[in-house]
Structure 1
Amino acid sequence: MACINVIAKRQIGEHPVVSIPNGKVRGTTQVTVGQKKVYHAFRGIPYAEPPIGERRFKAPVKKSRWVGTLNATEDKCECLQLRHPPGESEDCLYINVYTPRLHDGKIPVMVWIHAGGFSFGNSSYALYGPDYLLEETIVFVSFNYRLGFFGFFSTGDSACPGNFGLKDQIMALKWVQENIIHFGGDPEKVTVAGGSAGAASFSYLQQTELAKGLFRSGIMESGTSLCVWALGKHPEAAMYEVEQALNISTSNSTILIDEMRKIDYRVLQKIESDIATRFTFGGLKGSFVFGPVKEPGVVNQYSEQALSEGRFQRMPMIIGVNSNEGLIETNETVDQFLSKLGHLLPLAPKSLTKNITKLLEADTEIKNYYFGTSPIAEQPESVSKFIGDNIVNRPVRRTVLNQSKFVPVYYYKFSYVGLLGSPQNRSIPGEGVGHGEEIPYLFRTNDTVASSEADILTRARMVKMWTNFVKFGIPTPTKDDLLQNITWLTAPAGSDLFYLDIDTDLSIQRNPFEDAMNFWDRIYEEFGDPPYDTY
């Protein structure tokens, strides 16, 4: 170990240079926070031309060659977003590569798509430091993609079809195929992973021919294309709002978009903020107004039907949820949020049926099941259960049921409540693991948060299973004392679903949230009118 540390100290501060088809890139050499293993980081490599001016509201354009050596030594600007982080920019399409060895060409690759409700977020080291993953000898890749208004605004026609954020993701994955071998990675062993909106993004990519052959397996944490928030809301209404705000009166969408390409981005951001204020659901962070929209060849008309019929790239999958997905952050106090939710009707998903009578009947049953006769605002724990089942648990389970008919699916529930998940930041009280709180058990995110031995053990187990999957397509390929010698069973094709419960101990269980999921099965059987775009 002493010799290794001496070598590591010699390499720290070195700036390795790698030649790729676009030119030379200079990175940095660092050591992981845990085992002090050497790795090389290349942060901020452009994978597309800046989507500015005439390239705004268009599919990404492949980056041209540059002269000299590009400095890829720090994170670049975040994409424009509702939260307006310092230094945000339209020039934001950059990719990061972290590798334990250069020039190997055979190391399996994990590509991470960041979360953020399609409205905020970034791929920075501060949020997704891959130290623990790199210690298991994989290459890690992350990237920015266009968000919110600039990534997903749509006129519903060829003038501005939308889904530019998804098209950025496809461009980034093509970049990986063409370039990762120069960083020691194997382009034939690429696993795409993501959380929340990142997971929903991968679900869409799995269903489009545009991404065919760009990955061999996938990991979806707390998200899928079937989630109600994963499909953009009110695109026609948003277009009307933009026309009114800009005082542009035209029935020609091409003229509208041409004018919007000339306008200062800050004017468009103000319009986005105003629209989000009016359409935001119950104070949830992120507007959920601008997201993926239906587009032939990119986003299916009916995603649930496509998955049920096997019209997706078939490959091994890890898919799962946290134990209480309804524990979320909001922009409001708990009382404000609960009061607003109490006035939101119907509670039934709008994709269930277009028959208003049936929708209201379903709504009555849903309200009785979750809240009984007491006021909703007085039941925060019931609210978190309803939100979790409605926005994550139900659509994820449906995705598992559909995909497991065709491919091996490793289903999980993350139940371990520790310090790393920062549960003190929740806006809604309750027990369990909230939305996104599994992320710190994969990444180096916040060194100021204390951790226990159980936290460290849980992180080591999760990292081991995820990287096993990246390497072998199986999360538990052999008996392993760290993993309590468990074998993670695939979810069978049927209603009885095996899943791995990740808690203080690992255990194989059946049918998470069984009573609630049986209730929703009955709701869909009795009131539903398929096909469904979300579920």
Structure 2
Amino acid sequence: MEKLKILLAVVLSLGTASAASLGVVQTEGGSVQGINVPLGLFRSVDVFKGIPFAAKPGTFEKPQPHPGWEGVLKATKFAQRCSQISMFQTSSFGSEDCLYLNIWVPQGRQVSSDLPVMIWFYGGGFIVGGSMGPNFLNNYLYSGQAIADKGGVIVVSVAYRVGTLGFLSTGDSRLPGNYGLWDQHAAIAWVNRNIRSFGGDPSNITIFGESAGGASVSFQTLSPHNKGLFKRAISQSGVAFCPWAMNRNPLKTAEEVAEKVGCPIDDTLVACLKSIDAATLVMAAPSIKMGSPDSPGVTNLVLAPVVDGDFLPDQPANLFHNAADIDYLSGVNNMDGHLFTTKDISSIGDKNGETSVEDVKRLLAAYTKEKGQAGFEVAFAEYSSNWGSAPTQTTIKKAAVDIGTDFIFLVPAQTAIYLHAANARSGRTFSYLLSEPSLMAGPGKPYNDWVGTDHADDLQYVFGKPFTTPKAYGDRHRDLSGYIIAYWTNFARTGNPNKGNMLVPVTWPEFTSTAHQFLEINAKMNESSVGQEMRLRFVRLWTSTIPNLQSHGVTDAQ
């Protein structure tokens, strides 16, 4: 009986053996208190939601420091998203007072200290998005809990202005633009100044993001304003060179917005725009039209960063000296273009639909139109070189998806990777291709069975959804998610995805200017997962062959 009592006492004490917790944390603006989420024996995560990193921003103005607060801020609820247009472009929602961030801190027996820090920037085409992400099976997509717990890193997710309020620009000093990029920079600087109080190491910060968030990461590495603020960067399916990531004719967009809200196109344009209320400005964004083969949807994304002479003092290709000491890991999904191409040519997504060669030609012609007929012919010859005389529907559809993937994501990403490696001093470069078959593909599912990793498919694995919502996934998806979290957090810890707290399935070689190696990531990885010169023929086609053609009556005044 006595033994039983002792045993019971031990069991009960184990049950209450909770991990350490930060409690109230002092930041530059005042005290904050989050909540502690127990995850197991001596394991928990401290979660802080809705900490302001800047004041409510003025319309078309850079973010300013937050004035601070009295007492203890209860950081337990996500702040509202930044003002943005609804999915159907019929209304707006969100708040102008939106510059807040969220923090996840893993805890063990002792309160954590000196942990690597990872700051997340969401995607959404620079038009939409929120720091918590979409609500996914009753948990938010961008919850940093799984990454923090498994990888032993602090995760921070950050809000930034989007759409008209984040990126409208006249292309000159009157309305320079890039307000959303300045918000991100302000958040990085805040984390650098305050993260030590949360157990983080300010000298070991990694920024990471996907799609427009990946392009944002790319821009942050190129801006001279971030010198010394972070050490590493990860761009998933998005870099500064993506055709949608920069607006080359911002004045045209600003004048379109001005006309919609009734502002004159003269010297009073900017003063008038600044006097319009935020909701009206948000709704005045150029509408995102559904794509067609002749006018691909991705060409409609015009509210985007610009070369402003300040945050981006020059064209991105000329700014890689600023990233020379930053470790950079970047890659794409093998069918990143699927989401977009199926909108431009709807028959591709229809399992029984017939996609005509003519439609594929029209899409390719739209992407090569700056170089006219010559550009189209060179590109079509390359993409149809293995078709034979009677290409199957699968061949035709896959070619269209490849064209979209290459043009919108893969070739721009490879361009950034080549330039990073060529300009690097201490910074290392790593390149990947994610090729896990889509969860939506196969018999009885909506996608064709050949569909690989679509745009944004990587997010669920990076954020550990196969662990937090296990019923929605199989063991292979947990394997894959574990691999990605291991590579990403090892990279954040040491600058090398192979070295850190977590074991990896395959050694990922560095990308150098002499050895253009990359890692193909999926659930079934082995030695043959290391590749060389990713889609080199097509990278050369888009970066060298087509640009070097003479333009035929098409001016480069874009």
Distance 1:41 1:346, change over 3 A: same
Mapping 1:283-362, distance limit 5 Å: 284=297, 287-307=300-320, 310-328=321-339, 334-335=346-347, 343=362, 346-349=365-368, 358-362=371-375
Report the Cα distance in structure 1 between the residues aligned to 2:123 and 2:442, rounded to whole angstroms.
Answer: 17
Q: Which amino acid counterpart does residue 123 of structure 2 have in structure 1?
A: A
Matches within 5 A, 1:215-230: 215-230=230-245
- How far is 1:362 from its partner? 1.3
Asked if 1:111 corresponds to 2:106, the answer is no
Kept in 1, the 8 Å contact 2:162–2:180? The answer is: yes
Aligned residues: 510
Alpha carbons of structure 1 residues 419 and 246: separation in structure 2 relative to 1, 3 Å: closer
Distance (Å, rounded) in 1 between the aligned partners of 2:306 and 2:156: 26
Question: 2:462 & 2:31 partners in 1: Cα distance?
Answer: 31
For 1:284 and 1:4, locate their aligned partners in 2 and report how far apart those are by CA, in whole Å. 59
The answer as to whether partners of 1:491 and 1:497 remain within 8 angstroms in 2 is yes
Name the aligned partner's letter for residue 124 of structure 2.
Answer: G
CA distance in 1, matches of 2:442, 2:199: 34
Residue 63 of structure 2 aligns to a residue whose secondary structure is coil
Tell me which of the two structures has the higher relative contact order, counting C-alpha pairs closer than 8 angstroms and 6 or more residues apart: 1
Aligned match of 1:387: 404
Letter in 2 for 1:47: F
Are residues 306 and 103 of structure 1, via their aligned partners in 2, closer, same or farther at CA, if it must alter by over 3 Å? same
- CA drift at 1:158: 2.1
Q: For 2:250 and 2:52, locate their aligned partners in 1 and report how far apart those are by CA, in whole Å.
A: 30
Residue 369 of structure 1 corresponds to which residue in structure 2? Answer: 382
Tell me which of 196, 213, 219 is aligned to 1:198: 213
Structure 1 residues 420, 428: closer, same or farther in 2, change over 3 A?
closer
- Rg comparison, structure with higher value: 2
Residues of 2 paired with 1:287 and 1:448: CA distance? Answer: 37
Q: Report what 1:466 is aligned to.
A: 488
**Offset of 1:278 from its aligned partner?**
9.2
Measured in 2, the distance between the counterparts of 1:237 and 1:324 equals: 32
Deviation by residue 1:329-362 (Cα, 9 ceiling, x = unmatched):
5667823997987645744457xxxxx6x54311
- Secondary structure at 1:151 match in 2: helix
Deviation at 1:478, TM superposition (A): 7.1
Aligned to 1:25: 32
CA spacing shift, 1:421–1:171, aligned 2, 3 Å = farther
CA distance in structure 1 between the aligned counterparts of 2:200 and 2:364, rounded to whole angstroms: 50
Map residues 21-170 of structure 1 onto 2, 5 A cutoff. Answer: 21-32=28-39, 37-51=43-57, 55-83=58-86, 88-101=94-107, 104-124=112-132, 126-135=140-149, 136-170=151-185
* 1:506-525 correspondence runs (5 A): 506=526, 507-520=529-542, 522-524=544-546
Matched, 1:441 2:461: yes
- Structure 2 counterpart of 1:187, which letter? P
State which drifts further: 72-81 or 414-423.
414-423
Residue identity matched to 1:73: T
Question: Quick one: distance in 2 between partners of 1:91 and 1:428?
Answer: 43
Alpha-carbon offset, residue 182 of structure 1: 0.9
User: Alpha carbons of 1:285 and 1:157: their partners in 2 closer, same or farther (altered >3 Å)?
Assistant: closer
Distance (whole Å) between structure 2 residues aligned to residue 156 and residue 35 of structure 1: 56
Aligned twin of 2:7 = none
Within 2, Cα distance between the matches of 1:428 and 1:284?
21
Per-residue displacement from partner, 1:34-64 (whole Å, max 9, x unpaired)? 999301011111111112xxx1111111111
Note if 1:6 corresponds to 2:10: no
Pairwise CA distance, 1:501:
1.5
Secondary structure, in 3 states, of the residue corresponding to 2:288?
helix
Query: Residues 465-524 of structure 1: CA distance to partner in whole angstroms, max 9, x if unpaired?
Result: 1111111111112797x423x322111213x41111112114322122244334335514
For residues 209-246 of structure 1, what are the alpha-carbon distances to aligned partners after superposition, in whole Å with 9 as ceiling and x for unaligned? 11111101111111111111110254222222123223
- Which of 429, 433, 441 lines up with 1:409 in the alignment? 429
In the alignment, is the contact (CA less than 8 A) between 2:221 and 2:326 conserved in 1?
no
On the 8 A contact 2:206/2:233 being kept in 1, the answer is yes
Say which is worse superposed, 322-331 or 221-230, in terms of deviation: 322-331
Letter in 2 for 1:100: P
Contact conserved, 1:321 with 1:413, CA < 8 A, in 2?
A: yes
CA RMSD in angstroms comes to 3.6
Indicate conservation of the 8 Å contact 2:120/2:208, yes or no: yes
* Structure 1 letter corresponding to 2:182: K
SS at match of 2:430: strand
Spell out, residue by residue over 1:415-459, the C-alpha distance to the aligned partner (whole angstroms, 9 max, x if none). Answer: 122649999998888521112211111114583862111111111
Letter in 2 for 1:414: L
**SS of the residue aligned with 1:229?**
coil
The Cα shift of 1:7 comes to 3.6
Segment of structure 1 superposing worse, 515-524 or 274-283: 274-283
Residues 197 and 376 (structure 1 numbering): CA distance in 2 closer, same or farther, change over 3 Å?
farther
Once residues 421 and 116 of structure 1 are traced to their aligned partners in structure 2, the CA distance between those partners, rounded to angstroms, is 23
Q: CA deviation at 1:287?
A: 4.8
- SS of the residue aligned with 2:275? coil
Q: Which amino acid in structure 2 is aligned with residue 210 of structure 1?
A: H
Work out the CA distance in 1 between the residues paired with 2:41 and 2:296.
Answer: 41
3-state SS of the aligned residue for 1:90? coil
Q: What is the distance in 2 between the residues matched to 1:167 and 1:289?
A: 18
Q: Equivalents in 1 of 2:41, 2:488: separation in Å?
A: 18
For structure 1, the 5+ residue unaligned runs are 351-355
The alpha-carbon distance between structure 1 residues 377 and 2, as it changes in their structure 2 partners (threshold 3 A), is: farther
* Amino acid corresponding to residue 62 of structure 2 in structure 1: A
**Does the CA contact (< 8 Å) of 1:208 and 1:298 recur in 2?**
yes
1:409 deviates by 0.8
> What amino acid maps onto 1:497 in structure 2?
H
Q: Which residue does 1:353 correspond to in 2?
A: none
- Alignment CA distance shift 1:343-1:519 (3 Å): closer
Change (3 A) 1:417 1:500: same
Q: Which moved more, 1:425-434 or 1:259-268?
A: 425-434
CA separation of 1:164/1:35 partners in 2, compared to 1, >3 Å: closer, same or farther? Answer: farther
For the pair 1:232 / 2:247, whether they are aligned, the reply is yes
Whether the aligned pair in 1 keeps the contact of 2:407 and 2:542 (CA below 8 Å) is no
Gaps of 5+ in 2: 1-9, 134-139, 350-354
Q: Cα deviation per residue 1:380-435 (whole Å; 9 max; x = unaligned)?
A: 32211000000111111111111112232111111122649999998888521112
Shift in Å, 1:87: 5.2
Letter in 1 for 2:95: S
Q: 1:212 to 1:359 in 2, by over 3 A?
A: farther
Where does residue 521 of structure 2 map in the other structure? 502
Letter in 1 for 2:212: A
Q: Which amino acid is 2:15 matched to?
A: V
